Structure 1
Amino acid sequence: MVLLVLGVLLWSFAHLAKRVFPGFHRAMGGSEKPMVAGMLVLSIVLMVIGYRAADQVIWWAATPMLKGINNLLVLVAFYLFAASGSKSRLGVRMRHPQLIGFSLWAVAHLLTNGDLPSMVLFGGLLVW
């Protein structure tokens, strides 16, 4: 579980570092991008290893209704994620469709995965 939490924290830090340390970002002049990419890759590796190694403490099981809601939310999330790179009506009218799609994806997985590692992973990504 420690690796999973470290992975989620590293993911959040890599995404928020530009806002938290703007002076460092300006001083590097764009050369920090490979470092941030490396941190993101390492965070994903830590999350995968931590999720697989964590004890599966089950809090609830998904019902068929929750699975249907999950499928619908993931479908909307993928559409929003794709709309962020296009000039569709939705992509133009929404400020951050990719972030909203990512958040919907995390909520959908929280609904259907009632175990502790899923709560840490998807809840942490949602809070980010």
Structure 2
Amino acid sequence: MIEALSDLPSGTVGFRAHGVVTADDYRDVVEPALAAAHASAPAVNLVFIIGEDVERFSLGAMIQDAEVGAAPLSDWGRLAVVTDKHWIEGALNLFAGLFHGKVRVFPVSQEAAAIAWATQNPAD
């Protein structure tokens, strides 16, 4: 399950994952929120919180995630991923070079710092 984070500034979108993450979560929650953010900001910052209660990402969710990441390069600012799951951090480090914006992984204990970093101007 993915839920949208509230109270983020314009141009920043955030999500928190729980349990089993499916393709429907991306289609129903992530994609509409990103489309709305892209319509109102030239570059979108993203916060994605993946806590310890995440059991797995379905294959469909992984495909949807790749499609979301394939947005035009100029559409991205900063990506802050908050997780203590080392396999996710490893995958992000492997693919971070393909992401046009700035990418950082934060431990769960630094969620507030991750949000503060992601909401900064991408040029900073």
Which structure has the bigger radius of gyration? 1
TM-score (norm 1): 0.28
Q: Quick check: which one's helix share is greater?
A: 1
Q: Quick check: which one's strand share is greater?
A: 2
Question: Which structure is higher in RCO with an 8 Å CA cutoff and minimum separation 6?
Answer: 1
